[in-house]
């Protein structure tokens, strides 16, 4: 993968590292896990939709990175880091789990994307991301434990990279720490 993809991945990693500290509940769970327990897993899709719509209005880099970050969190919650077909139930997440499995997720994503899915050769928009999230939501509603979820996770992640590449990659010439804009997430 190219340097811009590495930059994108480092920015997504910064999102989950920062978010894990900000939304830590205890050593075993994060606020996302509690919200899934309290309101159901499909509630995450509302949050993803909100980020898509806000990105469409404001073009905040942080929003597209958050969507990609949530795809990683969903991959963990489904248990793909431990089981090829996912776990029987949703798993809790924490910063240690995220750090331990990030490279595995990226390696899986790169294998999945070898045939060009989501590459920068296609011009994608935030509307493409939003429509894919809606499809993912429908799949989760109909059959929450299909291997199809694995494909949807990687497809949305790839679309996020495509949108980020078109909107922001020109701002980066090398891997650098995430720019802190002083605004709260």
Predicted pLDDT at 145 = 60
- What are the angstrom distances between the C-alpha of 87 and each of 28, 76, 149? 17, 10, 12
SS (H, E, C) 146-177: CCHHHHHHHHHHHHHHHHHHHHHHHHCCCCCC
Is 176 inside any structural domain? no
Residues 118, 17: Cα–Cα separation, whole Å = 25
| pLDDT tens, residue by residue, 34-78 | 988 898 888 889 999 999 999 999 999 999 999 999 999 999 998
- Cα dist from 43 to 76, 98, 183, whole Å: 16, 21, 25
Residue-range definition of the domain harbouring residue 33:
3-171
Q: Is residue 163 domain-resident?
A: yes
Q: Is residue 78 part of a domain?
A: yes
Note if the pTM is more than 0.75. yes
pLDDT in tens, 146-165: 667 888 899 999 999 999 99
**Is 180 inside a domain boundary?**
no
What total number of domains does the chain contain?
A: 1
Residue 109 within a domain: yes
Geometric angle at alpha carbon 82, from 77 and 18, rounded to 5°: 45
Q: How many residues does the chain have?
A: 185
Residue 179 included in any domain: no
Q: Each residue of 81-139: pLDDT tens digit?
A: 998 888 888 899 988 999 999 999 999 898 887 765 555 567 889 999 999 999 999 88
Inside any domain, residue 52: yes
The verdict on residue 132 lying in a domain is yes
Name the least confident of 4-8, 134-138, 167-171, 174-178.
174-178
């Amino acid at each position: 993968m190219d340097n811009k993809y590495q930059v994108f991945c480092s920015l997504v990693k910064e999102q989950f590292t920062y978010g894990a500290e900000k939304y830590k509940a205890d050593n075993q769970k994060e606020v996302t896990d509690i919200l899934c327990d309290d309101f159901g897993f499909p509630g995450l899709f509302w949050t993803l939709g909100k980020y898509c719509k806000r990105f469409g209005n404001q073009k905040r880099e942080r929003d597209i990175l958050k969507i990609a970050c949530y795809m990683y969190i969903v991959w963990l919650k489904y248990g793909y880091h431990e089981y090829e077909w996912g776990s029987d139930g949703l798993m809790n997440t924490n910063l240690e789990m995220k750090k331990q499995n990030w490279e595995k997720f990226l390696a899986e994503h790169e294998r999945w994307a070898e045939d060009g899915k989501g590459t920068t050769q296609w011009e994608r928009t935030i509307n493409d991301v939003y429509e894919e999230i809606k499809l993912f939501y429908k799949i989760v509603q109909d059959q929450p434990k299909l291997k199809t979820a694995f494909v949807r996770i990687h497809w949305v992640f790839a679309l996020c990279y495509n949108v980020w590449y078109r909107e922001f990659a020109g701002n980066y010439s090398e891997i650098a720490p995430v720019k802190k804009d002083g605004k709260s997430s």
